Amino acid sequence: MYPYLTGILQRAGKQVQLGGVVKENQVFDSAETSVFNWDYAVTNPRMRQLYERAKTAQWNTADLPWDTAVDLESNVFDIDPAWASSDWFRKMSRKEQARLSIAYNTNQISQFVHGEHGALLAAAQLVDAVPDIDSKLYAASQTFDEARHVEVFYRYARDKLGAMYDCTQNLFNLMQAITIESRWDFKFLGMQLIIEGLAIAAFANLLTRCNEPLFRSLMQLVLRDEARHVAFGVIALNDYYSRMNEAQRRERQEFVYEACVLMRGRLFSGEAYERMGVNPEQIKETMRQSDEVRDFRANLFSQIVPNMRKVGLLDGWLAERFAEMDVLHFKDYDADAVLESLILGQGIKREKSQAV
Ligand SMILES: [Fe+2]
Ligand SMILES: [Fe+2]
C-alpha cells in the first residue's frame, strides 16, 4: 500500500506494521550524514534572516498562565456538528458527551506530543546533515523550538486534560522512515513540509474549535514557530530539485504522495474511536459528513500542495496523483496568509475550505 515508505523501513531491516499504537520505547540505528563546512560567511541571506527571527521569537513554557482552571465538563472544545446530529451521540448523557469530546481532543493533543518528539529528532539530525552553515544555525534554533513544543503539549495533556494516549503506528512509521533515511532532503520533505503541514492543519482545526484561553494562547505561540519551520523547508529546498534527473525527482514524488495518503487519515482513525469506547463502524458515516474532517483535509492540502509547487516537485506524476485526490486546485492557495490569520487568532475562514 505504501511501497516507497515500506522500502525505506525494510531496507533498514524493519518489520512494517500498519494500524495500532506503539507502546515500547524505540531504539534503532540510522545512517546519518555529517557535514563540516568551513565556510562560515553568510551564503544564504534569507536563511540567515530566518535564523535572526528565530532567536528573537523565543518564549518560555513556564511563562504561560498555567494556573488557568480548565473545567473538563464544560465546553472546552466545540463539538463537531456531525457528531451533535448523529443518533449515537444524542443517546449519550451530557456527561458522557463531554467525556468523549475531551478524550477525542486529548488523543489529538497526545499525537501532537509524539509528532513534536519526531520533529525534535529530525531537526537535530538536520543540524548534522545540511550542507551549509546558515542552515545548520537555523536547524539548531528549530531543535530548541521543537523541544519546547514537546514540553508545552505534554504539560497541557498531563496537567489540564489528565491523560496521554500512545503514538499511532502510522505516525511512527513515517517518523521512523524520516529518521532512518540518510538523504537530508527527504527529512525536509517528510518532516518540514508533510508532518509540519499536518501539524499546522491540525493546530488550525483545534484552535478554531477551542474555547479555552490557555490552550489558545499556547497554540498561537507554537503556530508562530511552525510557520518559520515550514519556511525553512521551502528556503532549503529552493532550486534543489531542478538539478536532479527524472528518476531522482520521481523518488521524492512517490515519498511525498505516500506520506500524504498516510497522514490524510491520521487523526481520524477508527482505532482512535475504539480506544474511546465508540464503535468505529458506527462513527464512519458521521465522519464522512463531518465539516471538521473536511476542514482538516482542506487545511492540510492548502499547506502541502502550494509548498510542493514552491520546491519544484508539483508536476508530472505527483500532479496526476494530487489531481486524483482532488487536491491539485490548492496549488495556488496562499498558505502564508492562512497561517498569518491563525497566528493573529482570527482562525480559518470557512468559505476558503473546499471539499477534499
Ligand atoms: Fe513543532
Ligand atoms: Fe516544527
CA of 226 to the centre of ligand 2 (A): 5
Smallest CA-to-CA distance from 348 within 299, 300, 290, 292 is with 299
Q: Does 348 score more than 60 pLDDT?
A: no
CA of 225 to the centre of ligand 1 (A): 7
Tell me the ligand closest to 151's alpha carbon: 1
CA of 5 to the centre of ligand 1 (A): 22
CA of 157 to the centre of ligand 1 (A): 16
Q: Distance between CA atoms of 55 and 169, rounded to whole angstroms?
A: 34
**Higher local confidence (pLDDT), 268 or 158:** 158
Residue 45's pLDDT is 93
Residue 271's pLDDT is 60
Q: Distance between CA atoms of 68 and 299, rounded to whole angstroms?
A: 29
pLDDT bucket at 349, cuts 50 / 70 / 90 = very low
CA of 117 to the centre of ligand 2 (A): 10
CA of 92 to the centre of ligand 2 (A): 38
CA of 302 to the centre of ligand 1 (A): 19
Residue 192's pLDDT is 86
Which of 195-204, 275-284, 286-295 bottoms out in mean pLDDT, i.e. has the lowest?
275-284
Tell me the ligand closest to 123's alpha carbon: 2
Contacts of 20 (CB under 8 A, 6+ apart): 168, 169, 271
pLDDT bucket at 343, cuts 50 / 70 / 90 = low
Tell me the ligand closest to 219's alpha carbon: 1
Residue 275's pLDDT is 63
Q: Distance between CA atoms of 287 and 291, rounded to whole angstroms?
A: 8
pLDDT tens, position by position, 114-138: 999 999 999 999 999 999 999 999 9
Q: Distance between CA atoms of 336 and 332, rounded to whole angstroms?
A: 11
Q: What single string gives the DSSP state of each residue in 261-278?
A: HHHHTGGG-HHHHHHTT-
**Higher local confidence (pLDDT), 252 or 204:** 252
Going by the DSSP 8-state scheme, the letter that residue 159 receives in this structure is I
pLDDT bucket at 213, cuts 50 / 70 / 90 = very high
Smallest CA-to-CA distance from 222 within 159, 172, 147 is with 147
Helix H or strand E encompassing 21: strand 21-22
CA of 201 to the centre of ligand 1 (A): 12
Q: Residue count of the chain, please give it.
A: 356
Helix H or strand E encompassing 168: strand 167-168
CA of 145 to the centre of ligand 1 (A): 7
CA of 285 to the centre of ligand 2 (A): 33
**CB-facing half-sphere around the CA of 283: CA atoms within 13 A:** 21
Cell of 12: 533498514
Which of 97-101, 296-300, 335-339 is modeled with the greatest confidence? 97-101
CA of 229 to the centre of ligand 2 (A): 5
Q: What is the mean pLDDT of the chain?
A: 87
Residue 263's pLDDT is 82
Tell me the ligand closest to 116's alpha carbon: 1
CA of 106 to the centre of ligand 1 (A): 17
CA of 113 to the centre of ligand 2 (A): 11
Q: Give percent of the chain above pLDDT 70.
A: 92
Residue 246's pLDDT is 93
CA of 227 to the centre of ligand 1 (A): 10
Q: Give percent of the chain above pLDDT 90.
A: 44
Query: What's the predicted TM-score (pTM) here?
Result: 0.90
pLDDT bucket at 270, cuts 50 / 70 / 90 = low
Q: Distance between CA atoms of 337 and 20, rounded to whole angstroms?
A: 36
Phi, psi (degrees; rounded to nearest 5) at 293 = -65, -40
CA of 196 to the centre of ligand 2 (A): 6
- The predicted model gives 216-228 an average pLDDT of 92
CA of 119 to the centre of ligand 1 (A): 6
pLDDT bucket at 354, cuts 50 / 70 / 90 = very low
CA of 225 to the centre of ligand 2 (A): 7
Q: Does 284 score more than 70 pLDDT?
A: yes
Residue 299's pLDDT is 82
**Higher local confidence (pLDDT), 76 or 266:** 76
CA of 123 to the centre of ligand 2 (A): 8
The answer to whether 168 and 266 have CB atoms below 8 angstroms apart is: yes
Q: Which domains does the chain have, with CATH numbers?
A: 78-352 (1.20.1260.10)
Q: Does 350 score more than 80 pLDDT?
A: no
CA of 115 to the centre of ligand 1 (A): 8
CA of 339 to the centre of ligand 1 (A): 14
Which of 22-31, 146-155, 160-169, 304-313 is modeled with the greatest confidence? 146-155
pLDDT bucket at 252, cuts 50 / 70 / 90 = very high
Q: Distance between CA atoms of 136 and 140, rounded to whole angstroms?
A: 6
